[in-house]
Amino acid sequence: MSITIKELHRTTGEHVRRAGSLKTPVVITDHGKPVAVLANLSLLRPKRRKRILLPEFEALMARPPGNDLQDDLDAVRGDR
């Protein structure tokens, strides 16, 4: 299903409620080109970011804690 911006502007509430009950997204068009989507929240998948630790940081965290903060900061900064 797709609707124009003008149509959405006239009947926003109706289209939002309809999008909330549908199993497919509603495409919003501007002069025939898709510009946005109204979708039921259950259709959206949360993004999961995979975190990657730099090898230098992993090595630093594996070391026993030191007494010298400046040495630790220098180790993190590397050759900057």
Per-residue pLDDT tens digits for 12-52: 999 888 888 988 888 999 999 999 999 998 888 877 888 88
71 lies in a domain?
no
73 lies in a domain?
no
76 lies in a domain?
no
22 lies in a domain?
yes
Domain that holds residue 15: 2-42
52 contacts 29 by C-beta, under 8 angstroms: no
57 lies in a domain?
no
The whole-model pTM stands at 0.51
The pLDDT value given to residue 79: 65
How many secondary structure helices (H) and strands (E) does the chain include? 4, 3
Residue 36 sits in a domain of what CATH number?
3.40.1620
The pLDDT value given to residue 35: 94
- Rounded Cα distance, 36 and 79, in Å: 46
Alpha helices in 1-80 (DSSP H): 5-10, 12-21, 55-62, 69-77
80 lies in a domain?
no
Total domains, the chain: 1
